[in-house]
A = this chain, B = another copy of it.
Amino acid sequence: MAMDPLSDTLFALADPTRRAILARLAEGEATVNELAAPFDISLPGVSKHLKVLERAKLISRTKTAQWRPCRLETAPLQDVDGWLTGYRKLWDHRLDRLETYVATLQASDGNKDRN
């Protein structure tokens, strides 16, 4: 299944185990065995998750060292962040409108109390 890079990234992130692997790698490089340790899944199961993350370029693996540590790559996450930018303006705007509406309600309540 060949997808565009952003879809690849979002698909790879759509799994709690894969996100937990990334959270571990945010603390530093780790081997497959180290990554598998906290999870109740087999080593081949972890390897499968790593392949999905590697295809999405969210991790890279050293080719030379025998233990091939995995490293987190942040570029695809920055692309997700960039994609969200347009929507960020939208929810800020909606929040502003909601605040204005609540202020109007409070003002109208105040008027009622005085009458």
Contacts and interface: CB of A to CB of B under 8 A. Distances in A.
- What class of interface size applies to chain A in its complex with B? 20 to 34
27 contacts: A3-B14, A3-B16, A4-B16, A6-B16, A6-B19, A7-B14, A7-B15, A8-B14, A10-B10, A10-B11, A10-B13, A10-B14, A11-B11, A11-B14, A14-B14, A22-B87, A26-B87, A72-B90, A74-B91, A74-B94, A77-B87, A77-B91, A78-B91, A80-B84, A81-B84, A81-B88, A84-B84
Nearest to A95: B74
A111 B14 CA distance: 50
A19 B16 CA distance: 22
A78 B78 CA distance: 16
A114 to B, nearest CB: 36
A86 interface: yes
